[in-house]
Amino acid sequence: MIRETLPVGLLQCNCTILGDETSREAIVIDPGDDIPVIQGILKRHRLTVKFIVITHAHIDHIAGAQSLKRLTGAPIVYNENDLPLVKMMDVQASWLHMPTPEVAPPDAPLKDAQVISIPGISGTVLHTPGHTQGSICLYVPDHSLLLAGDTLFAGSVGRTDLPGGDGRQLIRSIHDRLLPLPDETTVVPGHGPETTIGEEREENPFLQTS
């Protein structure tokens, strides 16, 4: 599998490109910004984008999705519980003092347990509300990989003080849906360095019980 993870935009959101070497098909997760750079990587690997997956509808994760869709024709998929955040994109833009990006409802909604597949790569959607109500993680078991969005970070967890955030629900989502995954699973968070499930279960101060 080809995997390229690059921080994009003002808030350095981790955008990930997953590609299959044989079919040259790809899934792009969270193309928040810097679409020309993402397009350059796709070109270098000769990849055709089949899905644009958004882990949640915060501006730094979704802002570039429409322009990538325009360039590739790929559908944008995300959980509909984040539609209220899409409707307040102008407010989100004002938080960052940036122009309001073009956003739209998903071409197809992402539901828990749904599988997003291209040849050689299958990702299962884990609905993990808490950071936002529509937050999802994409688990790719055959490649021991979790795209965690802003739910889980190396040594930290997502903030829950923004609209739609719920701290108790976030911790419950991580305990119930993410910590049961195998220790060796590589976690690519929405921002910052990569980690593993085993490391976070052992050491993340937000996840220690008693």
The conformation of residue 177, written as its DSSP 8-state character, comes to I
- Told to check if 50 binds Zn ion by CB under 5 A, we report no
- Told to check if 57 binds Zn ion by CB under 5 A, we report no
Question: In the bound complex, what is the minimum distance in angstroms from residue 143's beta carbon to Zn ion?
Answer: 24
Number of residues counted as binding Zn ion (CB under 5 A): 2
Nearer to Zn ion, 2 or 53 (CB): 53
The window from 29-37, 58-66, 116-124, 140-148 that contacts Zn ion (CB under 5 A) reads 58-66
Question: In the bound complex, what is the minimum distance in angstroms from residue 192's beta carbon to Zn ion?
Answer: 12
- Told to check if 137 binds Zn ion by CB under 5 A, we report no
Question: In the bound complex, what is the minimum distance in angstroms from residue 74's beta carbon to Zn ion?
Answer: 22
- Told to check if 58 binds Zn ion by CB under 5 A, we report yes
The window from 73-81, 86-94, 145-153, 176-184 that contacts Zn ion (CB under 5 A) reads 145-153
Build a one-symbol-per-residue string for 146-165: x at contacts with Zn ion by CB under 5 A, - elsewhere: ----x---------------
Question: In the bound complex, what is the minimum distance in angstroms from residue 118's beta carbon to Zn ion?
Answer: 25
Phi, psi of 78 (to 5 degrees): -160, 170
Alpha helices in 26-178 (DSSP H): 35-44, 59-62, 65-72, 83-87, 89-95, 167-173
Question: What separation, in Å, do the N-terminal and C-terminal C-alpha atoms of the chain show?
Answer: 40
Question: In the bound complex, what is the minimum distance in angstroms from residue 134's beta carbon to Zn ion?
Answer: 11
Virtual torsion, Cα 134, 137, 147, 27, nearest 10 deg: -80
Q: Is the dihedral of CA 122, 14, 83, 105 positive or negative?
A: negative
Nearer to Zn ion, 58 or 127 (CB): 58
Question: In the bound complex, what is the minimum distance in angstroms from residue 56's beta carbon to Zn ion?
Answer: 6
Nearer to Zn ion, 2 or 59 (CB): 59
- Stretch (H or E) spanning 52: strand 48-53
Q: Measured between alpha carbons, how far is 198 from 38 in angstroms, rounded to an integer?
A: 30
Sheet with 121-127, edge to edge strand ranges: 115-118, 121-127, 136-140, 145-149, 186-189, 195-196
Nearer to Zn ion, 150 or 200 (CB): 150
Q: Measure Cα distances from 114 to 43, 109, 124, 136, 138 in Å.
A: 28, 10, 6, 11, 10
Binding site for Zn ion (CB under 5 A): 58, 150
